[in-house]
Chain A
């Protein structure tokens, strides 16, 4: 059984990443916070008696379900159809300078000037936008596999699909990210 400290440490270790993942999916910070809070409470209420080692997979599963529930509610309420292509143009604003980006890649944080800091922030933003622009299933597989560091089987269990699908989604996600970042002249 996970103790209070183990549960708190676990939630602390995943809450920010979970929030960002949900933001990429629902594009609404308030809704994302509600979903993450709901997930934490569901985990605590129903699975507080489980060992700490089982918490990551349970949490990801509940988070995915809670996000799906949000989309179902939204669909009923607003008949919203997700269109990922809406977000593709977000990173192509005129302020982005590839020369600054390349300079920033070579600099260390200790010697970072304000211009470097700005360009570094722009790279982070561009990477984040590229991830947000991925199709939903690809993004979910990619983030569960490489950000949450689940293995292929665990990712498949969390997503409710086969291991082969996970590998395919991850591979396509990496290709799409690589292409998107290369066109912007960014090496992550």
Chain B
């Protein structure tokens, strides 16, 4: 629809000129409203200033929380370097010491078992290689003899 058609149908100025008139009127009204905001009381402007400061503090806190590496401070004032990056690496890093500890304990247990077996084998070999038969140690008379000769 052309502008002239629209004008003819509506019987009034064209839509664009109506829009322009509407905008001009609206801008005059809002200019008055803006003037009126200049008369806000000190208590209101102070409260708005306080609200802005609060918002800025929160924005800083939000940005700090999102940063990859952050320096935190404990209640006692000790500064710590934290890592706020990928959670995957943090989990892996915390699991590694536990895995290393479990592996170490397993190795120690194996080494102890091996030592005990070798000691027992040495005793057995000594007994079997000796001139005295092993049954002699279970004989009460021979045990008495050993005790007497020891005294």
Contacts and interface: CB of A to CB of B under 8 A. Distances in A.
Contact of B37 (A20, A43, A178): A20
A177 B36 CA distance: 17
B128 interface: no
Nearest to B60: A4
Interface stretch (B50-58, B72-80, B137-145): B50-58
B54 A40 contact: yes
Interface stretch (B26-34, B93-101, B118-126): B26-34
Contacts of A125: 36
Interface residues of A, number: 41
Given A4-B60, A174-B25, A127 B32 contact: yes
Interface residues of B, number: 34
Contacts of A43: 55
Interface in A42-69: 43-46, 48-49
A11 interface: yes
Chain A at the B interface: SS class: helix
B33 A29 contact: no
B48 interface: yes
B33 A44 contact: no
Contacts of B22: 170-171, 174
Contact of A7 (B37, B59, B66): B59
Contact of A15 (B23, B27, B39, B52): B52
Interface in A160-188: 170-171, 174, 177-178, 188
A147 B30 contact: yes
Interface in B6-64: 22-23, 25-37, 39-40, 44-45, 47-48, 50-52, 54-56, 58-63
Contacts of A171: 22
A146 B55 CA distance: 26
A142 B26 contact: yes
Contacts of A29: 44
Contact of B33 (A36, A37, A45, A147): A147
A158 interface: no
A15 B36 contact: no
Contacts of B56: 4, 7-8, 11, 44
Given A1-B63, A49-B63, 12 more contacts: A15-B52, A16-B45, A17-B37, A19-B44, A20-B33, A33-B44, A44-B58, A48-B58, A127-B36, A131-B29, A131-B33, A146-B30
Interface of B: 22-23, 25-37, 39-40, 44-45, 47-48, 50-52, 54-56, 58-63, 66
Interface of A: 1, 4, 7-8, 11-12, 15-17, 19-20, 29, 33, 36-37, 40-41, 43-46, 48-49, 121, 123-125, 127-128, 131, 142-143, 145-147, 170-171, 174, 177-178, 188
